[in-house]
């Protein structure tokens, strides 16, 4: 896949800063593509929808139970998420 700048988009794992209202959580290990020339990041729409839904669900927890960081890679490797 090529970037609009002409660089090549490479598979990577990134931290996605998801936010819902005042609640923000950094989600580590999100599949993405990063341009090797300009650094632009692209995420798969299905991945983002899943992450945003997760953020909405977590925002319903009491503030002291809300995680500030989630390691998405661990969830994916435990086969809780496909």
Question: In the chain, what are the domain boundaries?
Answer: 9-77
- Give the mean model confidence (pLDDT) for residues 46-50: 83
Fold of 9-77: Ubiquitin-like (UB roll) (3.10.20)
With 80 as the cut, is the pLDDT of residue 37 above it? yes
With 70 as the cut, is the pLDDT of residue 82 above it? no
Of the candidates 14, 16, 13, 27, the residue with the CA atom closest to the CA atom of residue 58? 27
Of the candidates 35, 47, 42, the residue with the CA atom closest to the CA atom of residue 73? 47
pLDDT of residue 79: 55
Distance of alpha carbon 23 from alpha carbon 69, whole angstroms: 11
- Give the mean model confidence (pLDDT) for residues 65-70: 90
For the entire predicted model, the pTM comes to 0.71
């Amino acid at each position: 896949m090529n970037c609009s700048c002409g660089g090549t988009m490479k598979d990577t794992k990134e931290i996605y800063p998801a936010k819902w209202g005042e609640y923000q959580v950094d989600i580590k290990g999100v599949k993405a593509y990063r341009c090797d020339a300009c650094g632009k990041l692209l995420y798969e729409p299905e991945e983002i929808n899943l992450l945003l839904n997760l953020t909405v669900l977590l925002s319903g927890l009491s503030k002291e139970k809300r995680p500030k960081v989630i390691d998405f890679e661990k969830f994916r490797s435990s086969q809780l998420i496909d």
